[in-house]
Amino acid sequence: MTVARSLAFIVPLLVHSALALAQAPATPPEPPPRLEGSAQFSFVDTSGNTSTRTLGAGGDLTVRPDPWIYKAKTLFAQSVDDGDLTARSLSALFRASRMLNPRWALYGQYDFLHDAFAGVDGRHVVEGGASFLAVDKAPHRLRFDMGVGYLHEARPDETLNSTTLSAGLGYRLAISATSEFTYEPRFLLPLNDTGAWKFDHDVALAVAMNSILSLKIAQTLHYAADPARGFEPTDSILTFSLVAKVRRPR
């Protein structure tokens, strides 16, 4: 699966979001809660002619003690086919942001990825940068990031170390009071080898069943222009999950 083919997943979600938005009146934005977190779980088990088992789990936590915002999230996925482990990945992120004004913020971030089946024994990225809130008007929220950091990536036959530049964005569309669409792409450029650039994205559509539980369809994609020897450049994880969310208002 290539980056271009991943659009086959994103575009239907965008179309669905646009159609739902056209039917739903805009509502004034509410201030973000002081604390919010979620946990998600997915499991698929098949038997008979073939035996497969897929497990996914993850969670995120955001705390907003003004003027700071702290965010942590993690995602684990594993697949077993006829008793053989065929995929296993673990990603995690921690980010601390300091608001300078309602639009601008400075941030520091640590990003981790382990995916042995993609030739990544451990990828560590530490970076700092600036964030700009370009749109904050219901139902849209759009943020741009620019950062400078350092990459350390361990592969089966080599190790990559480089200063990096990064660019990303975070977009949220509140389709209705019970559903939302989010998209978070990120581009990472190692300055020691610009041909080894990387692109990740997280895209999701969540529909609430009640005040706590939601159903979510999501795709996480990792693309490496120069992957480890013998591996494909693109890895994608598609999940259908049950999500439990908690929020504490200000």
Find the range with the poorest average confidence among 49-58, 70-79, 192-201, 234-243. Answer: 49-58
Mean pLDDT, rounded, of the chain: 88
Query: What sections of 2-154 are H helices per DSSP?
Result: 3-23
Amino acid at 64: R
Share of the chain above pLDDT 90, in %: 70
Contact partners, residue 23, CB within 8 Å, separation at least 6: none
- Please state, in angstroms and as integers, the Cα–Cα distance from residue 144 to each residue in 218, 240, 249, following that order: 21, 28, 25
Q: In which residue are the tokens 């170390």 written?
A: 161
- Please state, in angstroms and as integers, the Cα–Cα distance from residue 242 to each residue in 43, 100, 191, following that order: 10, 36, 40
How many CB atoms neighbour CB 205 within 10 A? 22
| pLDDT tens-digit readout, 41-54 | 998 777 776 778 89
| pLDDT tens-digit readout, 97-142 | 999 999 999 999 999 999 988 999 999 999 999 999 999 998 999 9
Is the domain defined by 3-31+85-248 classed in CATH 2.40.50? no
Domain ranges in the chain? 3-31+85-248
The secondary structure element, H or E, covering residue 191 is none
As a whole number of Å, the CA-based R_g of the chain is 19
Q: Output the DSSP codes for 3-23.
A: HHHHHHHHHHHHHHHHHHHHH
Is-contact 201 183, C-beta < 8 A?
Answer: yes
Q: What angle do CA 215, 217, 223 make, to 5 degrees?
A: 150
pTM of the model: 0.84
